[in-house]
Structure 1
Amino acid sequence: MTHTLRSSRPAASRLRSPRDLAAGLLLSAIALCGLWLAREWQAGSLAMMQAGFFPRLICGFLLAMGLVTLLRGLTADGPATLGWAWRPSVAITGAVVAFAALLDRLGLVLAILALIGIGGLAGRPLRPGPFTALWATLATGCIAIFSWGLGLPLQIWP
């Protein structure tokens, strides 16, 4: 008499880790979009890097991570997906879009204030003390790195 082993998962759920599969697909899609957007930029070489070198490098690493995560989602057991957290997704996306839209109009310091304020809606709100400390530290660090250190022509204040 022959015994066959049956999977404890239902037939409709052959994916071993749907959460990893979804994360791998998302990372891969972002990387492929980045590579497509940077397709016309000259990459140069390690000795003479040009504008497209670093974006392509980062997108290549992101694609590799996405494919590894995707493969893990198909081969290793993991937790099922629980749904989508809409509030954090919308808040973080809105914060980044607001930062990009306000940077030229209001300057770096106030754009960072908007970034932290809107991004804070993704989770528990910060009390005024930690919020101010985060804003001051991030604004000072960005000014030091991008304006003073790299010499980028950023508008600091309106």
Structure 2
Amino acid sequence: MTHTLRSPRSAGSRLRSPQDLAAGLLLSAIALGGLWLARGWEAGSLAMMQAGFFPRLVCYLLLAAGLASILRGLTAEGPATLAWAWRPSVAITIAVIAFAALLDRLGLVLAILALIGIGGLAGRPLRPGPFTALWATLATSCVAIFSWGLGLPLQIWP
């Protein structure tokens, strides 16, 4: 459950939508971080794209969206910022890190099991039936798409 943080707004304040401003700053920070990480990759051209072309394109589009959101936060009336939801943020981050760490050790199927189990801590826990159905569907789909369909050399089981 999130609570609205009320920040006093003076009549002369330029900040009209703190939530839009916060979202714009976050998007811009992610985009700038991505551009920094891709700084050594060759981009190439439209005719001959190289490894850095698409990541840079996505980062530039994300930066444009962030700047538009910042501008909106300074000019348009909007809602105040919300309290940060720590539990979902931490659970999802740990779930993704666990998936990456376990993929080579335990294989795709069990890494997905860990991903869903840990990610489930972000909200209400799933009952065993829906949990098993989600895991089986996601694991089967990922094996079919990535291992069989695309032929990626993924370890499926330990």
C-alpha separation between the residues in 1 aligned to 2:77 and 2:153? 50
Paired positions, count: 151
Q: Which entry has the higher C-alpha Rg, 1 or 2?
A: 1
The unaligned stretches of length 5 or more in structure 2 are 1-7
1:146 aligns to what SS in structure 2? helix
Letter in 2 for 1:75: T
**Offset from partner CA, 1:23-42 (integer Å, 9 cap, x none):** 11111101111111111112
Which residue is equivalent to 2:16?
16
How much does 1:54 deviate? 2.0
1:103 and 2:106 are equivalent in the alignment: no
After TM superposition, the score normalised by the length of structure 2 is 0.87
1:156 aligns to what SS in structure 2? coil
- Greater Cα shift, 54-63 or 107-116: 54-63
Letter in 2 for 1:142: C
The unaligned stretches of length 5 or more in structure 1 are 1-7
How much does 1:118 deviate? 0.8
Does the 8 Å CA contact 2:14/2:75 hold for their aligned counterparts?
Answer: no
**Offset from partner CA, 1:14-57 (integer Å, 9 cap, x none):** 41111111111111101111111111112223333322222222
Which residue is equivalent to 1:139?
139
Letter in 2 for 1:104: D
Which residue is equivalent to 1:128?
128
Which residue is equivalent to 1:71?
71
C-alpha separation between the residues in 2 aligned to 1:126 and 1:74? 41
| RMSD between superposed Cα atoms in Å | 1.8
Structure number with greater CO (CA < 8 Å, separation at least 6) is 2
**Offset from partner CA, 1:81-112 (integer Å, 9 cap, x none):** 12111101101111111111111111111111
% identity of equivalent residues: 87
After TM superposition, the score normalised by the length of structure 1 is 0.87
